[in-house]
Amino acid sequence: MIILAEKILQLRKQQGLSQEELAEKVGVSRQAISKWETGESVPELERVVNLSKIFQVTVDYLLNTDVMLEKGTTHKTDIAIIEMEIGKCRLKLTEGRLNIILKLILTGIILIVFAYFVGSALGQALAHFFS
């Protein structure tokens, strides 16, 4: 079970930030960061949200003692790039989903171009063979 204090320390070190650098990003003193990392105090909710954005992890990861990072992995947020509602349907396009869609589109284009050239070459070969 990893508590918030340990997670802040671990994430700060993973990102190569000093306490002063993190304090500047969060808008608090270096002493506040030190107290958070030792468990002497706990950041306000607004600061936790800010930390989640800085570290690119979910607030749930920071606050929930049951959520742990495996060594060398991160609990990245999947921030919505596009959100819309159409009737009762809600569409949430995240960076991960957008990457998958773009890869599928690119693969489709490559297959179409490949099929065109193979079909064209095959057609020319057949025309030459039967003439």
> In this predicted model, which residue has the larger pLDDT, 67 or 31?
31
Per domain, the residue ranges of the chain are: 4-63, 81-130
The model's pLDDT over 54-90, given as tens digits with 9 standing for 90+, comes to 998 888 888 887 655 444 444 455 555 566 677 777 7
> In this predicted model, which residue has the larger pLDDT, 67 or 9?
9
The model's pLDDT over 103-124, given as tens digits with 9 standing for 90+, comes to 899 999 999 999 999 988 888 8
For residues 37-50, average pLDDT? 92
Specify which residues 85 forms β-bridges with: 90
CATH 3.40.50.300 fits 4-63, yes or no: no
Buried b (16+ CB within 10 A) or exposed e, 72-98: eeebebeeeeeeeeeeeeeeeeeeeee
CA 44, CA 92: separation in Å to the nearest integer? 29
> In this predicted model, which residue has the larger pLDDT, 86 or 11?
11
Token duo for residue 3: 């508590």
pLDDT band at 31 (very low <50, low <70, confident <90, very high): very high
Note the pTM of the prediction, 2 decimals. Answer: 0.52
Q: Is 113 helix (H, G, I), strand (E, B) or coil?
A: helix
Q: Across the chain, what does the average pLDDT equal?
A: 83
Q: Helix-strand-coil percent breakdown of the chain, rounded to 5? A: 60, 10, 30
